[in-house]
Amino acid sequence: MRIGAHVDSTDPLAEAAARSADTVQFFLSDPQGWKAPKPREDAERLRTAEVDLYVHAPYVINVATLNNRIRIPSRKLLLGHANAATAIGAKGLIVHGGHVNAGDDLAVGFDNWRKTFAYAADSGGFGVPVLIENTAGGDNACARRLDALARLWDAIGDYEVGFCLDTCHAYAGGEDLLGLVDRVKAITGRIDLVHANNSKGAFNSGQDRHDNLGGGTIDPELVVAVIRAAGAPVVVETPGGVEGQTADIGFLRQQLGTASPAA
Protein backbone atom coordinates (compact mmCIF):
# COMPACT_ATOMS: atom_id res chain seq x y z
CA MET A 1 0.00 0.00 0.00
CA ARG A 2 1.34 3.41 -0.98
CA ILE A 3 1.48 5.95 1.85
CA GLY A 4 2.65 9.54 1.70
CA ALA A 5 1.98 13.12 2.63
CA HIS A 6 0.91 16.52 1.38
CA VAL A 7 4.18 18.44 1.01
CA ASP A 8 5.66 21.72 -0.13
CA SER A 9 5.80 21.96 -3.91
CA THR A 10 9.37 23.29 -4.26
CA ASP A 11 11.06 19.85 -4.29
CA PRO A 12 8.40 17.20 -3.71
CA LEU A 13 10.81 14.27 -4.24
CA ALA A 14 13.14 15.56 -1.51
CA GLU A 15 10.11 15.95 0.75
CA ALA A 16 9.12 12.36 -0.01
CA ALA A 17 12.61 11.09 0.82
CA ALA A 18 12.65 13.07 4.09
CA ARG A 19 9.48 11.23 5.15
CA SER A 20 10.36 7.79 3.67
CA ALA A 21 7.19 8.28 1.64
CA ASP A 22 6.44 6.60 -1.69
CA THR A 23 3.61 9.02 -2.47
CA VAL A 24 3.33 12.80 -2.29
CA GLN A 25 0.63 15.37 -2.93
CA PHE A 26 1.31 19.05 -3.54
CA PHE A 27 -0.10 22.22 -5.06
CA LEU A 28 0.98 23.54 -8.46
CA SER A 29 0.03 27.13 -7.64
CA ASP A 30 -1.08 29.26 -4.69
CA PRO A 31 -4.03 27.28 -3.23
CA GLN A 32 -5.82 30.54 -2.38
CA GLY A 33 -5.14 32.18 -5.75
CA TRP A 34 -6.46 32.16 -9.30
CA LYS A 35 -3.11 32.04 -11.15
CA ALA A 36 -2.72 29.21 -13.65
CA PRO A 37 0.11 26.78 -12.82
CA LYS A 38 3.44 27.42 -14.56
CA PRO A 39 5.28 24.62 -16.38
CA ARG A 40 7.75 22.98 -13.97
CA GLU A 41 11.44 22.74 -14.79
CA ASP A 42 11.58 19.41 -12.94
CA ALA A 43 8.70 17.89 -14.98
CA GLU A 44 10.88 15.17 -16.51
CA ARG A 45 12.36 14.21 -13.13
CA LEU A 46 8.89 14.10 -11.57
CA ARG A 47 7.46 12.10 -14.45
CA THR A 48 10.10 9.38 -14.17
CA ALA A 49 10.24 9.25 -10.35
CA GLU A 50 9.44 6.10 -8.38
CA VAL A 51 7.30 8.26 -6.10
CA ASP A 52 3.60 8.49 -6.97
CA LEU A 53 2.42 12.08 -7.38
CA TYR A 54 -0.96 13.65 -6.69
CA VAL A 55 -1.86 17.27 -7.33
CA HIS A 56 -4.31 19.15 -5.13
CA ALA A 57 -6.26 21.82 -7.01
CA PRO A 58 -6.57 25.30 -5.42
CA TYR A 59 -9.20 25.77 -2.71
CA VAL A 60 -10.72 28.73 -4.55
CA ILE A 61 -12.09 26.40 -7.25
CA ASN A 62 -15.86 25.97 -6.99
CA VAL A 63 -17.35 24.62 -10.20
CA ALA A 64 -20.75 24.06 -8.57
CA THR A 65 -21.60 27.66 -7.69
CA LEU A 66 -24.32 29.57 -9.52
CA ASN A 67 -22.03 32.64 -9.41
CA ASN A 68 -20.66 32.95 -12.97
CA ARG A 69 -17.71 35.00 -11.81
CA ILE A 70 -16.48 32.08 -9.70
CA ARG A 71 -17.76 29.12 -11.75
CA ILE A 72 -16.31 30.04 -15.15
CA PRO A 73 -12.76 30.78 -13.90
CA SER A 74 -13.02 27.69 -11.70
CA ARG A 75 -13.56 25.47 -14.73
CA LYS A 76 -10.63 27.05 -16.52
CA LEU A 77 -8.35 26.77 -13.51
CA LEU A 78 -9.34 23.12 -13.01
CA LEU A 79 -8.59 22.30 -16.65
CA GLY A 80 -5.29 24.19 -16.44
CA HIS A 81 -4.35 22.14 -13.39
CA ALA A 82 -5.36 18.92 -15.13
CA ASN A 83 -3.00 19.77 -18.01
CA ALA A 84 -0.19 20.68 -15.60
CA ALA A 85 -0.78 17.51 -13.56
CA THR A 86 -0.66 15.45 -16.75
CA ALA A 87 2.67 17.07 -17.69
CA ILE A 88 4.31 15.77 -14.49
CA GLY A 89 2.70 12.32 -14.70
CA ALA A 90 0.44 12.75 -11.69
CA LYS A 91 -1.85 9.86 -10.74
CA GLY A 92 -4.72 12.16 -9.91
CA LEU A 93 -5.97 15.72 -9.46
CA ILE A 94 -7.89 16.27 -6.25
CA VAL A 95 -10.58 18.95 -6.17
CA HIS A 96 -13.10 19.78 -3.46
CA GLY A 97 -16.77 19.07 -4.11
CA GLY A 98 -17.76 22.71 -3.89
CA HIS A 99 -21.06 24.26 -2.87
CA VAL A 100 -23.83 26.64 -3.87
CA ASN A 101 -24.67 29.82 -1.96
CA ALA A 102 -27.42 29.97 0.67
CA GLY A 103 -30.82 30.02 -1.00
CA ASP A 104 -29.51 28.60 -4.28
CA ASP A 105 -30.76 25.28 -5.63
CA LEU A 106 -28.25 22.49 -5.02
CA ALA A 107 -29.65 20.67 -8.07
CA VAL A 108 -28.16 23.43 -10.24
CA GLY A 109 -24.84 22.90 -8.46
CA PHE A 110 -24.84 19.23 -9.42
CA ASP A 111 -25.71 20.15 -13.00
CA ASN A 112 -22.82 22.64 -13.00
CA TRP A 113 -20.54 19.75 -12.11
CA ARG A 114 -21.95 17.81 -15.09
CA LYS A 115 -21.29 20.82 -17.33
CA THR A 116 -17.72 20.97 -16.05
CA PHE A 117 -17.04 17.43 -17.25
CA ALA A 118 -18.84 18.16 -20.53
CA TYR A 119 -16.70 21.31 -20.96
CA ALA A 120 -13.53 19.28 -20.32
CA ALA A 121 -14.64 16.56 -22.73
CA ASP A 122 -15.07 19.23 -25.44
CA SER A 123 -11.46 20.29 -24.80
CA GLY A 124 -10.11 16.75 -25.15
CA GLY A 125 -10.75 15.56 -21.61
CA PHE A 126 -8.94 16.14 -18.34
CA GLY A 127 -5.98 13.89 -19.21
CA VAL A 128 -5.58 12.87 -15.57
CA PRO A 129 -8.10 11.27 -13.21
CA VAL A 130 -10.07 13.98 -11.42
CA LEU A 131 -10.79 12.91 -7.85
CA ILE A 132 -13.59 14.79 -6.13
CA GLU A 133 -12.97 15.14 -2.40
CA ASN A 134 -15.60 15.23 0.34
CA THR A 135 -15.65 18.45 2.37
CA ALA A 136 -16.31 19.19 6.04
CA GLY A 137 -18.49 22.26 6.24
CA GLY A 138 -21.40 24.27 4.97
CA ASP A 139 -25.11 23.60 4.50
CA ASN A 140 -25.06 23.67 0.69
CA ALA A 141 -22.09 21.42 -0.10
CA CYS A 142 -22.07 18.94 -2.99
CA ALA A 143 -19.90 16.38 -1.21
CA ARG A 144 -20.20 16.86 2.56
CA ARG A 145 -22.84 14.23 3.31
CA LEU A 146 -23.57 11.07 1.39
CA ASP A 147 -27.11 12.07 0.42
CA ALA A 148 -25.63 14.97 -1.55
CA LEU A 149 -22.80 12.79 -2.88
CA ALA A 150 -25.38 10.37 -4.29
CA ARG A 151 -27.08 13.23 -6.16
CA LEU A 152 -23.71 14.46 -7.41
CA TRP A 153 -22.85 11.02 -8.77
CA ASP A 154 -26.26 10.80 -10.43
CA ALA A 155 -25.21 13.91 -12.36
CA ILE A 156 -21.62 13.01 -13.26
CA GLY A 157 -21.30 9.25 -12.85
CA ASP A 158 -21.30 8.68 -16.62
CA TYR A 159 -18.00 10.54 -16.88
CA GLU A 160 -14.65 9.14 -15.77
CA VAL A 161 -14.58 10.59 -12.27
CA GLY A 162 -12.86 9.39 -9.13
CA PHE A 163 -13.30 9.97 -5.42
CA CYS A 164 -10.96 11.05 -2.64
CA LEU A 165 -12.17 10.28 0.88
CA ASP A 166 -10.89 12.57 3.63
CA THR A 167 -11.40 11.07 7.09
CA CYS A 168 -11.26 14.45 8.89
CA HIS A 169 -13.80 15.98 6.51
CA ALA A 170 -16.13 12.99 6.76
CA TYR A 171 -16.09 12.94 10.56
CA ALA A 172 -16.30 16.70 11.05
CA GLY A 173 -18.90 16.75 8.26
CA GLY A 174 -21.15 14.39 10.19
CA GLU A 175 -20.55 10.99 8.56
CA ASP A 176 -19.75 8.11 10.91
CA LEU A 177 -16.44 6.50 9.85
CA LEU A 178 -17.67 3.04 10.83
CA GLY A 179 -18.76 1.34 7.62
CA LEU A 180 -18.27 4.57 5.67
CA VAL A 181 -16.19 3.02 2.88
CA ASP A 182 -18.98 0.60 1.98
CA ARG A 183 -21.56 3.41 1.99
CA VAL A 184 -19.35 5.58 -0.23
CA LYS A 185 -18.53 2.76 -2.65
CA ALA A 186 -22.24 1.98 -2.96
CA ILE A 187 -22.52 5.47 -4.48
CA THR A 188 -19.25 6.04 -6.34
CA GLY A 189 -18.17 2.46 -6.98
CA ARG A 190 -14.61 3.46 -6.09
CA ILE A 191 -12.26 5.24 -3.73
CA ASP A 192 -9.08 6.33 -5.47
CA LEU A 193 -7.27 8.01 -2.59
CA VAL A 194 -7.68 8.38 1.16
CA HIS A 195 -6.72 11.58 2.92
CA ALA A 196 -5.88 10.16 6.36
CA ASN A 197 -6.26 12.97 8.86
CA ASN A 198 -7.46 13.26 12.42
CA SER A 199 -9.81 16.12 13.29
CA LYS A 200 -9.37 18.93 15.80
CA GLY A 201 -13.09 19.64 15.47
CA ALA A 202 -15.78 17.44 17.00
CA PHE A 203 -18.07 15.08 15.07
CA ASN A 204 -20.40 17.08 12.79
CA SER A 205 -18.73 20.37 13.84
CA GLY A 206 -18.29 21.31 10.18
CA GLN A 207 -14.72 22.37 10.99
CA ASP A 208 -11.94 21.60 8.49
CA ARG A 209 -9.08 21.42 11.01
CA HIS A 210 -6.67 18.54 10.47
CA ASP A 211 -4.72 16.95 13.32
CA ASN A 212 -2.01 14.30 13.56
CA LEU A 213 -3.35 10.76 13.65
CA GLY A 214 -2.63 10.24 17.36
CA GLY A 215 -4.24 13.57 18.30
CA GLY A 216 -7.68 14.92 17.58
CA THR A 217 -11.17 13.64 18.20
CA ILE A 218 -11.17 10.53 15.97
CA ASP A 219 -10.12 7.12 17.30
CA PRO A 220 -7.01 6.45 15.15
CA GLU A 221 -8.04 2.82 14.76
CA LEU A 222 -11.10 4.04 12.86
CA VAL A 223 -8.85 5.87 10.38
CA VAL A 224 -6.84 2.67 9.93
CA ALA A 225 -10.06 0.70 9.39
CA VAL A 226 -11.15 3.16 6.69
CA ILE A 227 -7.80 2.78 4.91
CA ARG A 228 -7.97 -1.01 5.09
CA ALA A 229 -11.51 -1.08 3.71
CA ALA A 230 -10.75 1.45 0.97
CA GLY A 231 -7.66 -0.39 -0.27
CA ALA A 232 -6.48 2.86 -1.89
CA PRO A 233 -3.26 4.91 -1.63
CA VAL A 234 -3.03 7.18 1.39
CA VAL A 235 -1.91 10.77 1.84
CA VAL A 236 -1.68 12.38 5.27
CA GLU A 237 -2.41 16.12 5.31
CA THR A 238 -1.36 16.53 8.89
CA PRO A 239 0.60 19.24 10.74
CA GLY A 240 4.09 19.07 12.20
CA GLY A 241 6.17 19.14 9.00
CA VAL A 242 8.64 16.32 8.35
CA GLU A 243 8.59 15.13 11.96
CA GLY A 244 4.82 15.09 12.41
CA GLN A 245 4.08 13.50 9.05
CA THR A 246 6.87 10.93 9.32
CA ALA A 247 5.35 9.82 12.62
CA ASP A 248 1.88 9.61 11.04
CA ILE A 249 3.18 7.59 8.09
CA GLY A 250 5.12 5.31 10.47
CA PHE A 251 2.01 4.77 12.57
CA LEU A 252 -0.01 3.77 9.50
CA ARG A 253 2.71 1.43 8.18
CA GLN A 254 2.94 -0.23 11.56
CA GLN A 255 -0.85 -0.60 11.89
CA LEU A 256 -1.28 -1.81 8.32
CA GLY A 257 1.78 -4.06 8.39
CA THR A 258 3.35 -2.50 5.30
CA ALA A 259 7.06 -1.91 4.82
CA SER A 260 8.61 1.45 4.06
CA PRO A 261 10.22 1.86 0.64
CA ALA A 262 13.83 0.71 0.32
CA ALA A 263 16.18 3.56 1.23
Query: Taking the complex as a whole, how short is the minimal distance between the CB of residue 132 and Zn ion, in angstroms?
Result: 11
- Give the count of beta carbons closer than 10 Å to the beta carbon of residue 178: 12
Closest distance of CB 168 from Zn ion, Å: 7
Q: What share of the chain is helix, strand, coil (3-state, %, to 5)?
A: 40, 15, 45
SS (H, E, C) 40-69: CCCHHHHHCCCCEEEEECCCCCCCCCCCHH
Closer CB to Zn ion, residue 175 or residue 237? 237
- Binding residues among 215-244 for Zn ion as defined by CB under 5 A: 237
DSSP H or E segment with residue 3: strand 3-6
- In the complex, which residue's CB is closest to Zn ion? 195
Minimum separation from the CB atom of position 237 to Zn ion (A): 5
Tell me how far, at minimum, the Cβ of 197 lies from Zn ion, in Å. Answer: 7
Judged by CB under 5 A, how many residues of this single chain contact Zn ion? 3
Site residues for Zn ion, 97-126, by CB under 5 A, read none
CB of 223 to Zn ion, least distance (A): 13
DSSP conformational letter for 237: -
Residue 104 vs 226, nearer CB to Zn ion: 226
Alpha carbon distances (Å) from 127 to 79, 84, 98, 118, 169:
9, 10, 21, 14, 27
- Interaction with Zn ion in 156-215: which residues (CB under 5 A)? 166, 195
- Residue 116 or 167: the one with the smaller Cβ distance to Zn ion is 167
Rank residues 85 and 257 by Cβ distance to Zn ion and give the closer one: 85
Residue 120 or 193 with smaller CB distance to Zn ion: 193
The closest of 6, 1, 73, 75 to 34, measured between CA atoms, is 73
**Helix 68-87 vs helix 106-122: crossing angle, to nearest 10:** 40
Residues that bind Zn ion (CB under 5 A): 166, 195, 237
